[in-house]
Amino acid sequence: MSAVATIGGVSFTMDVPLVGTDETGFSDLALEARWFSGEPPDQPPIGAPMELIFWLDHDTRLVHLPVIDDHAEIRGWQLRQVAPTVAACFERLTLHASAVVIDGGVVAFVGGSGVGKSTMAWTLTKAGAKAVSDDLLPIRFDDDPYVPAVDAEHPITAVCFLERSGDVLEASSLSSADALHLHLVNGFGEHGRPEAWQFQFDAYHRLAIASPHVVLTIPDDRSRLSQIADGIMSGALLAERR
């Protein structure tokens, strides 16, 4: 019996059991995922290093992945790693971000591993926000960029690039050029598909122009997280940048 995992707006159908549904429950791209051992498909691979390599049959929407381990957790990890690049090959943007909905708008937190994206989003849900994404955030474009979900389409209130710096707590607005630069630094890259990289560059640029972007510097002291959450929930921390 086949299983379906929805990851960052992409639904993967596979013939192995796997739990991988994300928070949004949204999907606008359906693909099939197959694992193989032995000889790889006769086409150029995408990605590096080895555990991130996959082969994409674009016409039939089939993704081939090498067997690293038979455990469902490892296969789920592989899918989460390749999903953003697969999506970009089909002109769909994914941010490596945690995000919440506040008053109908999405506040997204982008940054490196360990900076506090998930912790910040979790703290905000305790203050009354609604969780949207813990890791991979699908972004779509109409007249303006938005985050799709099962129940609604949410405009983007702010994209916050998280940084840590001792006792500092501040939010600094970004120009569209600086926002684009930080998206490129924190994005998923080309992985051997120039057309996918060009799409991502164009989409990051469009997002940087259309939506408010800030650098949110937060202190190392986690006891102040509730103070930061209150400032975001009330609008006081980001109010001057909206």
122-133 pLDDT per residue, tens: 999 988 999 888
Confidence check: pLDDT of 241 > 70: no
- CA distances for 28 relative to 59, 92, 94, angstroms: 16, 9, 12
Distance CA 139, CA 116 (A): 21
Distance CA 178, CA 33 (A): 37
Whole-prediction pTM: 0.89
The percentage of residues in the chain with a pLDDT greater than 90, rounded to a whole number, is 46
Confidence check: pLDDT of 237 > 50: yes
Average pLDDT over residues 73-97: 91
The pLDDT, as a whole number, for residue 133 is: 87
Question: Smallest Cα–Cα separation from 33: which of 85, 73, 79, 68?
Answer: 79
User: How buried is residue 38: exposed, middle or buried, by Cβ count under 10 Å (0-12/13-18/19+)?
Assistant: exposed
The pLDDT, as a whole number, for residue 10 is: 93
User: How buried is residue 34: exposed, middle or buried, by Cβ count under 10 Å (0-12/13-18/19+)?
Assistant: middle
pLDDT tens per residue, range 174-198: 999 999 999 999 988 766 678 888 9
What band does 39 get if pLDDT is binned at 50, 70 and 90? confident
Distance CA 214, CA 21 (A): 29
What band does 242 get if pLDDT is binned at 50, 70 and 90? very low
Confidence check: pLDDT of 41 > 70: yes
